[in-house]
Amino acid sequence: MSQKRLDHVGIVVRDLETTIAFYTAVVGLELKDRLTHTNGVIQLAFLGFNGSDETEVELIQGYSDTLPAEGTVHHFAVSTDNIEEEYTRVQGLDVPHLDEEIVTLPNGYRYFFVHGPEGEWIEFFQR
């Protein structure tokens, strides 16, 4: 069975630059990486603490133009060391939604989403 832990929380934002500036100056997070999603639209920024390679917060711009005033947590991610094994395991369960395939980002990170019983998004994520 693969090793799992909480990896990061994804937050949908309107203005990536302003949000990065806030999270670095006010919260003390460090910008780890930025990239454009393979869909060519969504911009991602990965932030973390203490000079490590870990990502605690993922900022997502371009996912939706209709955001509530209070902000939106899009998902939380569970890190796994074997994304294929997790995908196969979850396929055998009765989950409300499972992505049709594992997605690979330009930086090599791989993921898939499921929905929980209340419609919450949960990402399985491998670096």
- Structure confidence at residue 55 (pLDDT): 76
The 10s digit of each residue's pLDDT in 62-79 is: 987 777 767 788 888 888
Long-range contacts of 88-91 (CB under 8 A, 24+ apart): 90/114, 90/124
pTM score of the predicted model: 0.74
With a cut of 80, say whether residue 89 has pLDDT above it: yes
For CA atoms 50, 29, 105, 113, give the dihedral sign.
positive
